[in-house]
Amino acid sequence: MIKKKISKAAFVLSIAAAFSIMCGCGREAENAATEQPVAETVENAGSAMTEETPSSAPEEEKVTNELFLKGPSYTGLSPIDNINNEDGSYKYRDMTEDGITVITNMCSRNSQRDGQDPAAYAENFVCALVDDTGSAKIINSRDDMTLSEKLTYPSYRVYWEAGSNEDSRQNAGVVVLTDNFTFYYGYGCPKDSYEENSDFYESELDCIEWMDAGVSAESGTAAAETGENAGAEEGDGGYGPYLDKMNELKSEGLADQFTLAYINDDGSDIPELIASDSRGSFDHENAFIFTVNEGQVVEVAGVIAGVDGASLDYAIGANLIHISGAAAGMRDVFSRIENGKLEQVFAAEASDLDGDAKYTINGSSVKEEEYYKQLNEFMEPYNPLVRIAPDGLYEVNYTLNDGYGAFEQGNPEKYSR
């Protein structure tokens, strides 16, 4: 069974592929009348575009996607595709940590012909765009009335397989047709593993829902970035000011897990964005905190968590951020967010070079006992902190035992996205 984590992104669509969904795709024998090789549909896409595509918006008109299809959240995923396009189309695929299930979340601009049966269009979309092998065959599909009502757009549950022999994979997914975009969210695994996973896939597909991207069709930017109370806009989950930054981090491979936290005590309705990289990469910063200052998203802290004892923690509602880590010894720096930047309020450093132990508090030398005592006294009002780590969010408490202090870490909680 797969384990839960956050997942989302976007993808660039080629013109040929976009219009190939107007043609048929492979099906089982009872639906053989609709068969047409995928390779042929792509080859003929250019003529299909000119001869069969209904008149649409002028080429220069930009239609911006204001929705993302959001599924359940997971941990331990390995990214396969993480691509987005400024017009709102996207494709994101992840492999679960057991190496069995692939989760696909994608959308593209509509190319449905006038009068084309929407159920057939949904099947063709899967064959021509969701599948990347050119061998997809539809096993079954149905109008998903429950999801259609929940998502307020026609939704179709599609079952399909692709590949051959040991590479054969079976899939279950949902296709949702909106006015300007077609969405797909689905699960797939090797054919011989499908039966044991199918019930789980079905239950997860029941949970998909819309997430408002907070995007303005006029500007193509996150509309929430400009308003003081943008983080509270209904439907965006509070992420509105940060959606562009989140997509940027994901596309650059810097972070793929996110949550929100009210760290700053400035009275703003906009929380801070917490971000991390689930892969725990050590070649770049993998734990971040962002805030909004004067309408702009700014990074206030970032570390390579796990290298030389580095960690990034925050205290909820207390405007305190803790950064630790040192090549030799210990260094704990505590800061507040002021005007979009960190302002240091307390620092403790301990080093032991060649047997010569040194302890400083705010730059002044102290004895070992005094060092731990002052650090503990500073931390007491702020316990517990929340640690940003690739494998989850940890609760950490600074405790003093027998004159020695240390941060004690609890069990991790998953990120909200």
327-354 pLDDT per residue, tens: 778 899 999 999 999 999 999 999 887 7
151-189 pLDDT per residue, tens: 999 999 999 999 988 889 999 999 999 988 999 999 999
236-276 pLDDT per residue, tens: 567 889 999 999 999 999 999 999 988 986 666 789 999 99
Taking residues 225-232, what's their average pLDDT? Answer: 33
215, two tokens: 């995007």
Q: Is the Cβ–Cβ distance between 335 and 323 less than 8 Å?
A: yes
Tell me the helices (H) and strands (E) count for the chain, helix number first: 8, 23
pTM of the model: 0.48
The superfamily CATH assigns to domain 15-212 is: Mog1/PsbP, alpha/beta/alpha sandwich (3.40.1000.10)
Predicted confidence at residue 133, as pLDDT, reads: 86
For the chain, residues classed under CATH 3.40.1000.10 are 15-212
Query: Band of the pLDDT at 83, cuts 50, 70, 90?
Result: confident
Res. 88: pLDDT tops 90: no
φ, ψ of residue 306 in degrees (nearest 5): 100, -10
Distance in angstroms (rounded) separating the CA atoms of residues 51 and 45: 10
Top-confidence residue, 34 or 87: 87
Q: Is the Cβ–Cβ distance between 70 and 79 less than 8 Å?
A: no
Predicted confidence at residue 25, as pLDDT, reads: 59
| pLDDT above 70 coverage of the chain, percent | 77
Predicted confidence at residue 62, as pLDDT, reads: 52
Query: Band of the pLDDT at 214, cuts 50, 70, 90?
Result: very low
Taking residues 184-202, what's their average pLDDT? Answer: 95
Predicted confidence at residue 332, as pLDDT, reads: 94
Q: Which helix (H) or strand (E) holds 330?
A: strand 330-338
Predicted confidence at residue 56, as pLDDT, reads: 43
Predicted confidence at residue 57, as pLDDT, reads: 41
Tell me if the bond preceding 79 is cis, omega within 30° of 0: no
Q: What b/e string do you get for 67-83 counting C-beta neighbours within 10 Å, with b at 16 or more?
A: bbbbbbbbbbbebebbb
3-state secondary structure of 331: strand
Query: Band of the pLDDT at 198, cuts 50, 70, 90?
Result: very high
| Sequential DSSP letters for 273-292 | EEEE-TT--SSS--EEEEEE
